Chains A and B, each alone.
Chain A
Amino acid sequence: LAKTTQPISMDSYEGQEVNITCSHNNIATNDYITWYQQFPSQGPRFIIQGYKTKVTNEVASLFIPADRKSSTLSLPRVSLSDTAVYYCLVGGILTGGGNKLTFGTGTQLKVEL
């Protein structure tokens, strides 16, 4: 299974940009990289997905270097409501059978005033 490594926790202040990096050294050619956000007592929620280079949506950006062995989730100008656990997921259900769904322990982001 694809193994991902993230920092256990990060602290930030409101208005700052936060970058969370995920390492995935054994990523396969067909694997997409997906980030999820989870608040206490809720299910994870999709943030962004990418394959290479840079992807941006209304809430975040995802930077993926050429070797794709890591990825960085960038949250611009965080607020208190961004306090949550962020998970990096590499891969999914394989077309030929099997799965590569390993969420890892995630990164607890705490945003303060």
Chain B
Amino acid sequence: NAGVTQTPKFRVLKTGQSMTLLCAQDMNHEYMYWYRQDPGMGLRLIHYSVGEGTTAKGEVPDGYNVSRLKKQNFLLGLESAAPSQTSVYFCASSYLGDETQYFGPGTRLLVL
């Protein structure tokens, strides 16, 4: 099993550009999450999903959109990137909402 994978690993964007980060898991987990991590800070939840076709807002959802069209995939979109969105983005999945989360390796995003 590959676990949780994230694409791409690193990306540089110009202000105003758009992009989509892809998260895939092969553990048949119902729950999936997107976090961002900034220097010296913990992980902050952006959006999450409790099942295929569902999404919900987390702590810092502004400027991001998500979609969960397939159970194994969770997409994070930035419609108009801003320098404040420079961060490391982690995707995670879990079988239930209060169980172990399995994290991907992260995507480093730099917005100039």
Contacts and interface: CB of A to CB of B under 8 A. Distances in A.
The judgment on whether A and B are partners is yes
Contacts of A13: none
Contact of B103 (A41, A45, A106): A45
| Contact count band on B | 20 to 34
Interface in B52-68: 56, 58-59
- The DSSP consensus for interface residues of chain A is loop
B87 to A, nearest CB: 14
Contacts of B40: 105
Contacts of B59: 1, 101-102
B101 A46 contact: yes
The number of chain A residues touching the other chain, given as a range, is: 20 to 34
B47 to A, nearest CB: 10
A34 interface: yes
Which 4 A-B pairs have CB atoms at the shortest separation, nearest pair first?
Answer: A93-B97, A43-B103, A92-B98, A103-B42
Interface of B: 4, 31, 33, 35, 40-45, 48, 50, 56, 58-59, 90, 92, 94, 96-106
Interface of A: 1, 30-32, 34, 36, 41-46, 49, 87, 91-95, 97, 99, 101-106
